[in-house]
Amino acid sequence: MILDLKSKLRVSRAISPQSSSDNTALVSQIATVDCADGIMLAILTGSLGDAGAEWTVLLEHASASDMSGAEAVPDEYLVGTEAGASFIQSDDNVVKTLGYIGPKPYIRATITPTNNATAALVSAVWIKGLGRKGCNTSQDS
């Protein structure tokens, strides 16, 4: 039996597809965790050309929707690790994931490159599990 995942998941833009050609950090859209049964970040890479280049992932959470007072998510609230979601120049065309099970309603990801000088193709999406009763999931980000 095939299950209907479309009605149980919401996928939203975290980082629009882009070509990153320097060491400027890529900062995601803020995701709202309320009304989600779970949330994860999926990072998609394309061609990553520069030998020695690395991209480090940081997940932050906050109580305020503008992320004021944001702090790095403690490891106990991560499903996976930030190191495991990070990538290097040989990780062409892969998907890296990082989940969040923390108590705060807003999260944001930052992907920071080092030693990058060529056009690295990166994008990311938030994937939320829906299903909490009484929530209006059509308006969630």
Q: Where are the beta strands (DSSP E) in 3-119?
A: 9-20, 26-27, 31-32, 36-45, 54-62, 71-72, 78-79, 87-88, 95-100, 106-114
pLDDT digits (tens, 9 = 90+) for 39-75: 999 999 999 987 889 999 999 999 999 999 999 999 9
Determine the Cα–Cα distance for residues 86 and 110; give it in Å rounded to an integer: 11
pTM (two decimals): 0.90
What residues does 80 pair with on adjacent strands? none
Task: List the domains of the chain with CATH numbers.
Answer: 9-132 (2.60.120.1110)
pLDDT digits (tens, 9 = 90+) for 69-117: 999 999 999 999 999 999 999 999 999 999 999 999 999 999 999 999 8
Are residues 12 and 130 in contact, defined by beta-carbon separation less than 8 angstroms?
A: no
- Side chain identity at 61, as an amino acid letter? H
Query: How does residue 14 score in pLDDT terms, banded at 50, 70 and 90?
Result: very high
